[in-house]
Structure 1
Amino acid sequence: MLVHLTIKNYALIDDLNVTFSEGFTCITGETGAGKSILLGGLSLVLGKRADLSSLRDKSEKCIIEAEFEIGKYDLQSFFEKNDLDYEGHTIIRREIHPSGKSRAFINDSPVNLTVLAELGDRLIDVHSQHQTLRLADNDFQFMVIDALAGNRQLLENYRHLFSDYGKIEKELTVLIDRQRDEIKEHDYNLFLLKELEEAPLKEGIQQELEEQYEQLSNIENIMELLSQGFQLLNDEQIGVSNLLAQLKQVSNKLSGFGGLYADLNERIQSVVIEVDDIATELQSFHENTEANPQLLEDVNGKLQRIYDLQKKHGVATVSELLAIRNELDEKIAETESLDSAIVEKRKAVEVVKNAMEDVANTIHVKRRNVLPRLKEQLSKSLGSLGMPSASFKIEVQQANVFKTNGKDDLTFLFSANKGADFGELKKTASGGELSRIMLVIKAILAEYENLPTMMFDEIDTGVSGEISNSMGDIMQAMSKNMQVFSITHLPQVASKGNHHYKVFKVEADAVTKTQMKKLDENERIIELAEMLGGKQLSDSAIAHAKQLLN
């Protein structure tokens, strides 16, 4: 509910402060007095784009602030989603600076126009003759039917399922596409994996093979060196072993001259033993070393396979080849497991699809059952608005595809006169008829939905006194469930309001300003009398005005 509106430095408005109440509020004023300016200012806090030409004083900023009571609108989730402080009395402020910069705030938190417009749509519904084309919108027509059918919770459940269905189907498509792509690589990956598995790959194998290859390829040189080493140790004349034997005899004799020489003798004995052991090993190596061309060829073959694989995969170590082998193994296993994953995902899609089908069928039945009541309410209400022959052909047929709001196709046709063909609303109904139809539909919705504040902008233009009286009755009835505003030229409608405001222009210091005031009972009588008979008030006009109010 709109509680308070402040407008500063906008068009002809210098500084306007107005407080509003619940119920039915009528706003009147002469043509050009500024009723549209008031609505234009309000539209800025509802998210409309700003225009510098609307600044009254080009050197000062324009400020428009609206306070709303939002406790019954269930908007907590909106505030959480947009990281805003939720307050039962929420203030929206819009500033337009002379530089052209525009800023918007919700409870003092800056927001962009998209967020502002989204909130504005849920706070005020501005309805004029130019906006009746929404009647032809299929989504709006479904909204009306679903409101009467009480489908809100069902539709919420359906949309959750529809979202899950789309998500799971997308996951299934990804799996199928992935399988198709990976099947092309599967055989090649198997070939690569087989190459790596057949190669002699383990940690340290490359160094081991390279050392073995070095030994086998230099076997003759190694045998010669082993022989030389053995001869150096065991030559009869200059061999190390013979010389050490002589040294051993000397140290044995020295050891008898005290502990100092005994220790030296022990060390020499150790050297002799170690040299004897080395000589034995050199002899053994020499006896067991021989050329082995076949083994050399085998070792060389293994090394070449490792080198070829490293070059093929662009790596330098066996560790990296082992990592590639493991990766290929996992990839092949994943590809081969995709079949079962796809089967499971198809089952999940089918489960959600069946659940969605059940909810869509329930929605369809409830929509179909409510159509006779909707057509009856529309015809009855439009009859009181000068359209006694208005009739509707509304049909709901189940489609073969899931949509965002169920599985139904909707036909919503209208005929204004008896015997006339049914046709689409936007093609069959005139502007005035569309306004009346929209008024009736909004009145029906008000009985079933918690609608935002309704602002009717001169939708009664061009209608007769009797019909305008009925339009006023409908708006007055709507205001029992919601806040309703009507900007009107008709005294019959203005007299129905619980509150009456007048928009007027004043001139001061050669400057024209638009102002607005709430009328008391006597002021309402004068305003209605002027609307009935002009500025020259007559007794009959005043009497008629009193009669309308009473």
Structure 2
Amino acid sequence: MLIALSIKNYALIDSLQVNFNNGLTIITGETGAGKSILLGGLSLILGKRADLSSVKNASEKCIIEATFDIANYNLETLFKAEDLDYEPQTIIRREILPSGKSRAFVNDTPVNLDSLQVLGERLLDIHSQHQTLQLTNDDFQFQVIDALADNSKVLQDYAEQLRAFKVLKSELKKFQTQKIEAAKELDYNLFLLKELEEANLLDGELESLEEEYETLNNIEEIGERLTTTHELLGNPELGIVTQLTEIKNQLTKLAPYSADYKLVSERVVSSLIELDDIFAEIETLQEALEADPNRLNTVNAKLQVINNLLQKHAVAEVSELIQIKNDLSDNVSFTENLDTVIADKEKDLLKVENQLSTFATKIHNNREKAIPGFIKQLEVLLETLGMPNARFNVELTHSETFLSNGNDELKFLFSANKGGQFNELKKAASGGELSRIMLAIKSILTNYTQLPTIMFDEIDTGVSGEISNKMALIMQQMSKTMQVFTITHLPQIAAKGDVHFKVFKEDVEEVTQTQLKRLNPEERIVEIAQMLGGINMSSSAIEHAKQLLN
């Protein structure tokens, strides 16, 4: 419920602060006094786009702030979805800066207008005779029937299954498309895979094969050079090993004479050990060296295969070819298994579809059971509201498509005259009739669901005294379970309120300002008397006002 409202620098309002109570709150005032200004300010709280022209003083900031008690509204999930901090007493603030820029805050957290509108719809419903299109909206009509049918839980279950159904259907379509596309490429992919598998590739083998090829292809030169090296090292008379051995012998004899000689001698010994090792390694290389034309041909052929594959697949490393082979293998395997995957998805989809149909059937049956009682209640209330010949019907038909709230299509049908044909509500009812129908429906809904605060804006226009009294009684009954505001020109309705506010203009320092005042009992008698008899109220008007209030 709305518990406080603060407006600063908006239209004709310089500064206004007011607290509200539960129950039925009446707002009255002469035409042009500024009731629309109050509604305009509240509309900004609900997410309406701001207009700099509505700011009273364009050089100062306009601030509109509303405090709501939302403890009983079960809005925690909504706040979480909109990434807002939940508070049982929630404050919504709109600011219009002198630059024309608008900002919005929920519990001091900045929000965009979309989030504000989503939240505002759950907090405050401003309804006027010119705003009855909601009544002809399919979503609203379903909300009405589903509230009476107690479909809340089964609709949640249905929505979860519908999400799963859509995901599975999308996945199935994706796999079916992949199957069509993959079938076109399967033969080519199989050819590429076979080619790579037959190459029997090993990571790093390109470098090894190139090295082996160079050795086999130049074996004569290698043999000659190894022989020459071996002779230079190991010749018994002039070989390097022989010469170094003699040097070692000479220096070994000098070692006892000086540390310097000893150090040089040790270095020569180390060199000789290394040279002996090299000599032995060269002998091993000579023994291993063997011409093998067949192996040379094999290596050359494998190198040609690898290089051709590298060029064909536009890569530089064998490891990349191996990855391509693995990817092709996965792709071919996936393609060959798509029939199984598709069959499994079809089974899963059918299972979810059956469950979805079960929920949809339950939703439909609950709606069918609720409709007769709804029609009966509505026609009784409409008769009370001066529409004795009004007849209502709800047409519920099955759809082959799973919709967001079941597989039903819904139409509210209406006939205003006895013996008249039923027609769609938006075509058959006038603005005044729609207004009374909406009041009746909202009244019925209060018995089945927690409605947001509702503000009726002069929906009693053109209504007779007796009917207005009936409307007031309905509003009064609604206000027992929810907060109700009504802006009215009719004394019969004004007298039924728990609290009465008056909107009026006054000149302050030659500047016209709109004010909102809570009336005490005596002031209320005067206000209603003036509504009955005009500004020059008679004693009979005052007595009549007292009777209405009593």
Report if aligned partners of 1:200, 1:302 keep a CA contact under 8 Å in 2: no
Matched letter for residue 354 of structure 2: N
Find the counterpart in structure 1 of residue 399 from structure 2. Answer: 399
- 2:419 is paired with a residue whose SS is coil
Using the TM superposition, give the Cα deviation of residue 472 of structure 1 relative to its aligned residue in structure 2, in angstroms.
Answer: 0.5
- 1:361 is paired with a residue whose SS is helix
- Relative distance call for 1:528 and 1:188 in structure 2 (3 A) is same
- Relative distance call for 1:191 and 1:388 in structure 2 (3 A) is same
Find the counterpart in structure 2 of residue 236 from structure 1. Answer: none
| Inter-partner Cα distance in structure 2 for 1:226 and 1:145 | 100
Find the counterpart in structure 2 of residue 180 from structure 1. Answer: 180
Using the TM superposition, give the Cα deviation of residue 335 of structure 1 relative to its aligned residue in structure 2, in angstroms.
Answer: 2.7
Instruction: Say if 2:163 is the partner of 1:163.
Output: yes
Matched letter for residue 313 of structure 2: H
- Relative distance call for 1:218 and 1:101 in structure 2 (3 A) is closer
Using the TM superposition, give the Cα deviation of residue 220 of structure 1 relative to its aligned residue in structure 2, in angstroms.
Answer: 5.0
- Relative distance call for 1:46 and 1:200 in structure 2 (3 A) is closer
- 2:337 is paired with a residue whose SS is helix
Find the counterpart in structure 2 of residue 381 from structure 1. Answer: 381
Using the TM superposition, give the Cα deviation of residue 508 of structure 1 relative to its aligned residue in structure 2, in angstroms.
Answer: 2.8
Instruction: Say if 2:56 is the partner of 1:56.
Output: yes
- 2:540 is paired with a residue whose SS is helix
Find the counterpart in structure 2 of residue 450 from structure 1. Answer: 450
- 2:516 is paired with a residue whose SS is strand
Find the counterpart in structure 2 of residue 433 from structure 1. Answer: 433
- 1:387 is paired with a residue whose SS is coil
Report if aligned partners of 1:229, 1:282 keep a CA contact under 8 Å in 2: no
- Relative distance call for 1:204 and 1:59 in structure 2 (3 A) is closer
Using the TM superposition, give the Cα deviation of residue 278 of structure 1 relative to its aligned residue in structure 2, in angstroms.
Answer: 9.1
Using the TM superposition, give the Cα deviation of residue 33 of structure 1 relative to its aligned residue in structure 2, in angstroms.
Answer: 0.9
Report if aligned partners of 1:241, 1:272 keep a CA contact under 8 Å in 2: no
| Inter-partner Cα distance in structure 1 for 2:290 and 2:94 | 97
1:214-234 Cα deviation digits (max 9, x unpaired): 34434555566678789x69x
- Relative distance call for 1:296 and 1:445 in structure 2 (3 A) is same
Question: What is the alpha-carbon root mean square deviation over aligned residues?
Answer: 3.2
Find the counterpart in structure 1 of residue 315 from structure 2. Answer: 315
| Inter-partner Cα distance in structure 1 for 2:285 and 2:35 | 117
Report if aligned partners of 1:241, 1:275 keep a CA contact under 8 Å in 2: no
Using the TM superposition, give the Cα deviation of residue 188 of structure 1 relative to its aligned residue in structure 2, in angstroms.
Answer: 1.8
1:33-68 Cα deviation digits (max 9, x unpaired): 111111111211121111111111222211111111
1:121-170 Cα deviation digits (max 9, x unpaired): 11110000111111111111111111111111111111111112112222
| Inter-partner Cα distance in structure 2 for 1:352 and 1:123 | 36
Report if aligned partners of 2:45, 2:120 keep a CA contact under 8 Å in 1: yes
Using the TM superposition, give the Cα deviation of residue 198 of structure 1 relative to its aligned residue in structure 2, in angstroms.
Answer: 1.2
- 1:130 is paired with a residue whose SS is coil
- 2:378 is paired with a residue whose SS is helix
Matched letter for residue 337 of structure 1: N
Give the alignment of 1:205-284 within 5 angstroms.
Answer: 205-219=205-219, 221=221, 240=235
- 1:447 is paired with a residue whose SS is coil
Instruction: Say if 2:24 is the partner of 1:24.
Output: yes
Find the counterpart in structure 1 of residue 190 from structure 2. Answer: 190
Give the alignment of 1:296-375 within 5 angstroms.
Answer: 296-375=296-375
Give the alignment of 1:100-111 within 5 angstroms.
Answer: 100-111=100-111
Find the counterpart in structure 1 of residue 9 from structure 2. Answer: 9
Find the counterpart in structure 1 of residue 71 from structure 2. Answer: 71
- 1:480 is paired with a residue whose SS is coil
| Inter-partner Cα distance in structure 1 for 2:448 and 2:94 | 33
Task: Give me the TM-score of the superposition, normalised by structure 2.
Answer: 0.89
Structure 2 residues without counterparts, runs of 5 or longer: 256-264
Find the counterpart in structure 2 of residue 544 from structure 1. Answer: 544
Using the TM superposition, give the Cα deviation of residue 27 of structure 1 relative to its aligned residue in structure 2, in angstroms.
Answer: 0.6
1:197-216 Cα deviation digits (max 9, x unpaired): 11142244334433443344
- Relative distance call for 1:278 and 1:211 in structure 2 (3 A) is closer
Q: Between Structure 1 and Structure 2, how many residues are aligned?
A: 533
1:425-444 Cα deviation digits (max 9, x unpaired): 11111111010001101101
Matched letter for residue 110 of structure 1: P
Matched letter for residue 240 of structure 1: N
Which range moved further: 313-322 or 125-134? 313-322
| Inter-partner Cα distance in structure 2 for 1:446 and 1:270 | 105
| Inter-partner Cα distance in structure 2 for 1:513 and 1:289 | 112
- Relative distance call for 1:218 and 1:508 in structure 2 (3 A) is closer
Report if aligned partners of 1:29, 1:503 keep a CA contact under 8 Å in 2: yes
| Inter-partner Cα distance in structure 2 for 1:31 and 1:333 | 79
Using the TM superposition, give the Cα deviation of residue 282 of structure 1 relative to its aligned residue in structure 2, in angstroms.
Answer: 9.1
1:322-367 Cα deviation digits (max 9, x unpaired): 2322232233223333332222222221221111111110110110
Structure 1 residues without counterparts, runs of 5 or longer: 234-238
Report if aligned partners of 1:399, 1:408 keep a CA contact under 8 Å in 2: yes
Report if aligned partners of 1:73, 1:450 keep a CA contact under 8 Å in 2: yes
| Inter-partner Cα distance in structure 2 for 1:141 and 1:380 | 19
| Inter-partner Cα distance in structure 2 for 1:192 and 1:347 | 34
| Inter-partner Cα distance in structure 1 for 2:303 and 2:145 | 79
Find the counterpart in structure 1 of residue 124 from structure 2. Answer: 124
Report if aligned partners of 1:52, 1:96 keep a CA contact under 8 Å in 2: yes
Task: Give me the TM-score of the superposition, normalised by structure 1.
Answer: 0.89
Report if aligned partners of 2:223, 2:286 keep a CA contact under 8 Å in 1: no
Matched letter for residue 469 of structure 1: N
Matched letter for residue 370 of structure 2: V
Matched letter for residue 95 of structure 1: E
Report if aligned partners of 1:495, 1:528 keep a CA contact under 8 Å in 2: yes
Which range moved further: 335-344 or 353-362? 335-344
- Relative distance call for 1:477 and 1:214 in structure 2 (3 A) is same
Report if aligned partners of 1:14, 1:513 keep a CA contact under 8 Å in 2: yes
- Relative distance call for 1:59 and 1:317 in structure 2 (3 A) is closer
